[in-house]
Structure 1
Amino acid sequence: MFRRREPIPFAFVAEADRFRSNVTPPPRRRASAGQIAGRWLFGLSIVAGLAGSLVIGTPALEQDHLSTPTRQSQASDGH
């Protein structure tokens, strides 16, 4: 990115992306056992729902040859 030749009023704002702080953020809090169990239960229910919809929806996508109407010719009756 090129630098402007004219001075900017707030130069420290323009150079803020290069600023590094020496203050470390506080450490992240660890998740409790209940939160971890809840996340696992939520993920498991999502996977079970997808698997269940696949099991229930698969027969609907199959083509049944028995349910298709078959035309019988009248000449094969012999009458």
Structure 2
Amino acid sequence: MMPRREPVPFAFVVEADRFRSNVTPPPRERMSFGQLAGRWLLGLTIVAGLVGSLVIGMPALSLDHSSQRTQQTQASDGR
């Protein structure tokens, strides 16, 4: 049996995109003081850890020019 070639109405798909529900979701609960303080404390701890690691790591990343100068002066004194 051959399938019929009738147009299928897809108007319901267009209507589904435009459909707005009249049911509003419940409002979000406000965070308690403990949750808010905990979030701030966690953020400050992470930022302080990153800044601290940067401060502690900077001397290791910088070039040490003083040791090269002492080696050069010791080499020139030994002539």
Shared fold (TM-score greater than 0.5)? Answer: yes
Aligned residues: 69
Shift of 1:45: 0.3
Measured on the aligned residues, the alpha-carbon RMSD in Å equals: 2.3
Secondary structure, in 3 states, of the residue corresponding to 1:67? helix
Q: What whole-Å deviation, never above 9, does each CA across 1:39-73 have from its counterpart, x for those lacking one? A: 00000001101110110111111111123454826
User: Equivalents in 1 of 2:11, 2:34: separation in Å?
Assistant: 49
Q: Name the TM-score, length of structure 1 as normaliser.
A: 0.70
Q: Name the TM-score, length of structure 2 as normaliser.
A: 0.70
Any residues of structure 2 matched to 1:60-79 within 5 Å, and which? 60-68=60-68, 69-70=71-72, 72=75, 77=79
User: Equivalents in 2 of 1:42, 1:11: separation in Å?
Assistant: 51
> Which amino acid in 2 is paired with 1:35?
Q
Partner of 2:31: 31
* Structure 2 gaps, min length 5: 1-6
Identity of aligned residues (%): 66
Any residues of structure 2 matched to 1:1-16 within 5 Å, and which? 6-7=7-8, 12=12, 14-15=13-14, 16=16
Secondary structure, in 3 states, of the residue corresponding to 2:67? coil
